[in-house]
C-alpha cells in the first residue's frame, strides 16, 4: 500500500516523546481556519505556488498569466505536466506517494536517531483519511520494535483498531460545543468525544491537546465547558492534557495554496492559558507542557 505524505523529517518535542521521525500525511476532513499546514488539507494534494519563480513557462496549458496561476483551469487538468513532467520551480504539488515498505525501511535505518524514547510519529493533515495504509504501516513498525505515536483529530469511527498498534496516542479536542465545532470546522465533535473516551479508558499513554483559538474557544465559559467533557480524565494516570496557544506560523502557506487566511490578528495571553490550566488542575487532570 502507499501513503501520500506532504512533509517528513525529525523533530524533538510536541510530536511525541524523544527524538522522532515525523510523517505528515496528506488530507484532512476538517477545515480549521487557523491550520498551520493548509497544504495538507486537500486529499489529492495542493498546488503550491512560489511567486519568485512563477512565470508562463511553468504551465504548458496557459494557466499562468500576469504572474498569477488561474487555479480553475487546474481542476480539470488530469496529467499535471507542471508537476510530473517538467523541471520548473514556480509550481509544486504538496505531497508525494511512498510505499509502506519504503517508509518502514527509512524508519529502521533511522533507529540510531530515536533517542530519549523516540520513534515514528504519524501526523497530518489527518492520518485516518488513509486508514488502511496507516494501519499497515503501524503494524510493520511494531514488528520492527519501533515506538509509534499518532496525532489525530479524532474523527474516524474505527480508531479502536489502532489502539494496540500505537504507543503514544495524541489527539486534539477542539471544542466541547457541537454547534461551534460544526460551524468552524465543518464536522461534528460527537465521534471526537467518543474516541477521547475510548482512548482514556483503554490506552496506556494518552496526550489530549486543546488548541486555544481567539474567539473560538478561549473564554472562561469555554474553560468550564471543556472541564465538563474532560472530567473523565480526572485522576487518570494514563492521561496528560496540554493547552496550546494559537499562532500564525502557517499563514504564508495559505497564500501559496491559493487560499485566504481569514483569522484576524489576535493572541492567546498567558493569563488565558493559566485560567484553563488552573480549572483543569482543580478537577484533578494531569496538565503538562511538552
- Residues in the chain, overall count: 290
Closest to ligand SF4 by CB, 104 vs 206, is: 206
Closest to ligand SF4 by CB, 153 vs 217, is: 153
Closest to ligand SF4 by CB, 44 vs 81, is: 81
Q: Could you tell me the smallest distance in angstroms from the CB atom of residue 215 to ligand SF4? A: 16
Closest to ligand SF4 by CB, 61 vs 142, is: 61
Closest to ligand SF4 by CB, 23 vs 114, is: 23
Q: Could you tell me the smallest distance in angstroms from the CB atom of residue 232 to ligand SF4? A: 22
Q: Could you tell me the smallest distance in angstroms from the CB atom of residue 214 to ligand SF4? A: 15
Question: For every residue of the chain, which 3-state class applies, written as one string?
Answer: CEEEEEEEEEEECCCCCCEEEEEEECCCCCCCCCCCCHHHCCCCCCEEECCCCCCHHHCCCCCEECCEECHHHHCCCCCCHHHHCCCCCCEEECCEEEEHHHHHHHHHHCHHHCCCCCCEEEECCCHHHHHHHHHHHHHHHHHCCCCEEEEECCCCCCHHHHHHHCCEEEEECCCCCHHHHHHHHCCCCHHHHHHHHHHHHHCCCEEEEEEECCCCCCCHHHHHHHHHHHHHHCCCCCEEEEEEECCCCCHHHHHHCCCCCCCCCCCCCHHHHHHHHHHHHHCCCCECCC
Q: Could you tell me the smallest distance in angstroms from the CB atom of residue 61 to ligand SF4? A: 4
Closest to ligand SF4 by CB, 79 vs 143, is: 79
Q: Could you tell me the smallest distance in angstroms from the CB atom of residue 105 to ligand SF4? A: 27
Per CB under 6 A, residues contacting ligand SF4 are 28, 30-32, 35, 37, 40-41, 59, 61, 63, 69, 73-74, 77, 80-82, 91, 124-126, 153
Closest to ligand SF4 by CB, 43 vs 110, is: 43
Question: Rounded to an integer, what distance in angstroms lies between the CA atom of residue 290 and that of residue 288?
Answer: 6
Q: Could you tell me the smallest distance in angstroms from the CB atom of residue 146 to ligand SF4? A: 24
Let me know: does 173 contact 196? Beta carbons within 8 Å: yes
Q: Could you tell me the smallest distance in angstroms from the CB atom of residue 163 to ligand SF4? A: 20
User: What is the Cα gyration radius of the chain?
Assistant: 20
Closest to ligand SF4 by CB, 104 vs 159, is: 159
- Residues contacting residue 46 through CB under 8 Å, at least 6 positions apart: 38, 39, 40, 93, 94, 257, 258
Q: Could you tell me the smallest distance in angstroms from the CB atom of residue 287 to ligand SF4? A: 21
Amino acid at each position: 500500500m502507499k501513503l501520500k505524505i506532504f512533509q517528513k523529517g525529525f523533530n524533538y518535542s510536541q510530536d511525541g516523546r524523544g527524538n522522532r521521525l515525523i510523517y505528515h500525511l496528506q488530507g484532512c476532513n476538517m477545515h480549521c481556519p487557523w491550520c498551520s499546514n493548509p497544504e495538507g488539507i486537500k486529499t489529492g494534494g495542493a498546488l503550491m505556488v512560489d511567486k519568485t519563480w512563477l512565470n508562463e513557462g511553468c504551465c504548458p496549458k496557459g494557466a499562468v498569466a500576469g504572474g498569477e496561476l488561474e487555479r480553475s483551469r487546474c481542476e480539470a487538468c488530469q496529467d499535471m505536466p507542471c508537476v510530473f513532467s517538467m523541471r520548473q520551480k514556480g509550481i509544486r504539488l504538496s505531497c508525494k506517494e511512498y510505499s509502506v515498505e519504503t517508509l518502514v525501511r527509512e524508519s529502521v535505518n533511522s533507529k540510531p536517531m530515536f533517542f530519549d524514547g523516540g520513534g515514528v510519529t504519524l501526523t497530518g493533515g489527518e492520518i485516518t483519511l488513509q486508514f488502511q495504509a496507516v494501519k499497515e504501516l503501524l503494524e510493520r513498525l511494531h514488528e520492527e520494535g519501533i515506538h509509534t505515536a499518532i496525532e489525530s483529530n479524532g474523527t474516524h469511527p474505527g480508531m479502536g483498531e489502532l489502539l494496540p498498534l500505537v504507543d503514544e496516542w495524541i489527539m486534539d479536542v477542539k471544542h466541547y460545543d457541537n454547534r461551534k465545532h460544526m460551524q468552524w470546522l465543518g464536522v461534528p465533535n460527537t465521534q471526537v468525544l467518543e474516541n477521547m473516551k475510548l482512548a482514556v479508558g483503554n490506552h496506556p499513554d494518552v496526550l489530549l491537546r486543546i488548541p486555544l483559538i481567539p474567539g473560538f474557544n478561549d473564554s472562561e465559559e469555554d474553560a468550564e465547558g471543556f472541564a465538563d467533557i474532560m472530567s473523565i480524565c480526572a485522576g487518570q494516570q494514563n492521561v496528560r492534557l496540554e493547552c496550546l496557544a494559537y499562532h500564525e506560523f502557517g499563514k504564508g502557506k495559505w497564500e501559496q495554496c491559493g487560499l485566504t487566511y481569514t483569522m484576524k490578528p489576535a493572541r492567546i495571553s498567558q493569563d488565558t492559558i493559566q485560567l484553563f490550566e488552573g480549572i483543569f488542575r482543580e478537577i484533578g487532570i494531569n496538565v503538562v507542557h511538552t
